Structure 1
């Protein structure tokens, strides 16, 4: 009879004891899943200074900046003002008989997240020809230089996927200042009561 009672108690305990919950997967605090800026994403750029065909040579690098933030899933992957590099891929000088100068720039990379990412796209600029002088047969009249000025908008595109860790967005904000902990009061002292200086 005693053994039967013990067995019944053990069975009741087995049913009433809650099962141990499986440990949850650990997720770093303050971190969010990374996102991907897809290939062929539009990036609008403008030169940081005037670019002219005068004394320009093929292979030279010209500097641009990103005009607007490039956003994916609510996160800024490429920030406004990010540096962009382009290379002079073709150029003709000012010609005679009113022919204008021309050049072409091929875009290479944009700086984001501490490294350079490939871009694709090019722009061709042509100076205004002096057609009036050419029609009059004034062979000594030359065309005009080709120029791209700051504020002139040019569309280029990403040539590769750009990953971005959303948790890094917090680093762009103001730093969090840790407040010092209040010192513990010794036992028996009321912090609201007046304290008399014993050395005064």
Structure 2
């Protein structure tokens, strides 16, 4: 029995020495397989994350809302307005269009309020969205009208004007993708 215990200690030392040699051998070689692998600091190989390509087709609906209040007062055709994505879009478990992604719209038409209760109106044309630093084209328009005041104008014979057209930040409107959007996710 006394002989058995020291021999076990020798076996453990020899096994520890060979394990250290195996670790050194793994560190010195690169492990490759059919799939791409990454070597950890210990020397073991693990599968790397596989990149996934997901495409959002042309004409996909994107819900957006203005960053700040937009009013027809002092608005000029051709100026731009900032919007943000109101609902993220996911496909196959991958976020393609994240919440709050920046969207740009251009004022394409505008009328001011007038006498006899005529309300102001404007139209915005969505032009682009920025995703992961890349700009993609959008399509779609939104027309906003102020409330008219014709009943009061008839009573006071034309002195009353309509109201300005206003969009508020929590108002959600629709834009559409003008092209396929392909995202490579890892």
* Deviation (angstroms), 1:80: 0.1
Give unmatched runs, 5+ long, in structure 1.
1-22, 168-200
> Which of 107, 130, 134 is equivalent to 1:88?
107
Q: Distance in 2 between matches of 1:58 and 1:27?
A: 53
Q: What TM-score, normalized by structure 2, do the two folds share?
A: 0.73
Q: Distance in 1 between matches of 2:69 and 2:157?
A: 30
Question: In the TM superposition, what are the counterparts of 1:95-106 in structure 2 within 5 Å?
Answer: 95-106=114-125
Name the counterpart of 2:129: 110
In the alignment, is residue 145 of structure 1 matched against residue 148 of structure 2?
no
In the alignment, is residue 52 of structure 1 matched against residue 71 of structure 2?
yes
In the alignment, is residue 163 of structure 1 matched against residue 182 of structure 2?
yes
> Which of 95, 111, 136 is equivalent to 1:76?
95
In the alignment, is residue 132 of structure 1 matched against residue 159 of structure 2?
no
Secondary structure of the 2:129 match is: strand
Q: What TM-score, normalized by structure 1, do the two folds share?
A: 0.68
Q: Which runs of 4+ in 1 moved over 4 A?
A: 23-28
* Deviation (angstroms), 1:27: 4.2
Q: Count how many residue pairs are aligned between Structure 1 and Structure 2.
A: 145
Name the counterpart of 1:63: 82
* Deviation (angstroms), 1:24: 6.4
Name the counterpart of 2:141: 122
RMSD: 1.6
Q: Distance in 1 between matches of 2:184 and 2:141?
A: 30
